[in-house]
Amino acid sequence: MARKSNTLAPETLAAQALRHIDPVSGSVVPPMVATSTFARDENYDLREGYVYARYGSPTTAHAEEIIATLEGADESLLLNSGMSASVAVVESLPPNAHVVAQSMMYHVGLHWLERQAQRGVIRKDLFPAGDLHALKAALIPGETKLVWIETPANGDWSITDIAAAAELAHSVGAVLMVDSTAAPPCTTKPLDLGADISFHSATKYMGGHSDFTAGVLSARKDMPLWDEIREVRSFQGTILPAFEAWLLIRSLRSLHIRYEACSRNAMAFARHFAAHKDIEAVLYPGLPDHPGHDVAARQMKNGFGGMMSIRVNGSARRAFEMAKRTEVFIPATSLGGVESLIEHRRTVAGADSGIPENLLRISIGIEHIDDLIADFEQALAATS
């Protein structure tokens, strides 16, 4: 079993998987328990409370305990994708609940909310990311049940003040869920800032190696809906399986150092291209001229991450062509991995997304910064 100490730093707890040493073999790597069912003992009692893998398993529980420790949560629940996690929250709301979300956020989540609203399952209103006045105006006292923010926001990486959003949500009796995928708990802890639910696509920075999908929700014991969310996960059968949970444990052990490396590279990359003659704008919260920089600096304690978007000067098709010309950057959808990715976001998110045609979404990895800068420079030159 895990042995925790309140005197150890989060980096230490993560690196040693909560000081977990297998009591049978002495392995310093936590073992994987891969089974669908669990045998009862000679008295027909459950062994350690496990009955069937759809409800939980030792490996998944261990990964959840690590994340809960890093988040400062009482409990974390792992699901098999980020969308499974967000769906479980909305499915737990009462019928016809009013949901307020950002107009700039992960496009699949936004499309799913629109679908649910069209089906009459929920009512929804949207507000521009970071605009607290618009958020306040969208709330309906006694009717708004969920406020869903994402910060930094996927696309333009705008910043929303979590503490202020929590105060607004709570003033009308709503729960605040923060999608903090781009700001993992090594830099931002939404629960400490007043959020009720911290949500991550654990596929991204928590996973960090682009080899599995996962989602995670974290909360404290007094969070409304928590028991209902757990029930929804059980009924849907969307708990994270043991193998993926084991991979996640492996990844969490290096989270802090990976995030630090990505942040360092991204800052250097953003500074290099911020005043480039071929660049219209670099959208990165770490730059002092970013509109949300001051709030981001308060919320993101250990770096601004590796995510940015770059708007390229030139023809409408230039950014699209650049995404095909890079040699180090990989043209793929996702973020937070050790490898650097480039994406023509309008092509992926769709023409109705509001994403400008000249915008490239970039996930900076841990490669040598000189190689990343040179690769982007050559793609600019090739399309000039």
Positions annotated as catalytic residues are 54, 106, 179, 204
CB of 273 closer than 8 Å to CB of 279? yes
Q: How many CB atoms lie within 10 A of CB 94?
A: 9
CA neighbours closer than 13 Å in the CB half-sphere of residue 288: 0
Sign of CA dihedral 219, 192, 199, 163: positive
Pair type for strands 197-201 and 215-219: antiparallel
Place of tokens 């596929």: 203
CA separation for the pair 40, 51 (Å, rounded): 8
Instruction: Give the Cα separation of 28 and 89 in Å (integer).
Output: 35
How open is the CA angle 163-167-168, to the nearest 5 degrees? 120
270: closest CA among 307, 302, 295?
A: 307
Identity of the residue numbered 16: Q
Task: Identify whether 190 is preceded by a cis peptide bond (ω within 30 of 0).
Answer: no
Q: What is the DSSP letter of 32?
A: P
Q: How far apart are CA 224 and CA 287, in angstroms?
A: 37
CA distance 107 to 326: 25
Classify 348 in phi/psi space as left (phi over 0), alpha (psi -120 to 50) or beta.
Answer: alpha
SS3 breakdown of the chain: % helix, strand, coil, rounded to 5? 35, 15, 45
> Residue type at 173?
G
Please identify which residue in the block is written with the tokens 């030792």: 58
Q: What region, left, alpha or beta, does residue 173 occupy, with left being phi > 0 and alpha being psi -120 to 50 degrees?
A: left
Q: Could you tell me how far CA 147 lies from the centroid of its own chain?
A: 16
Task: List the alpha helices (DSSP H) in 172-317.
Answer: 226-236, 242-252, 255-273, 293-299
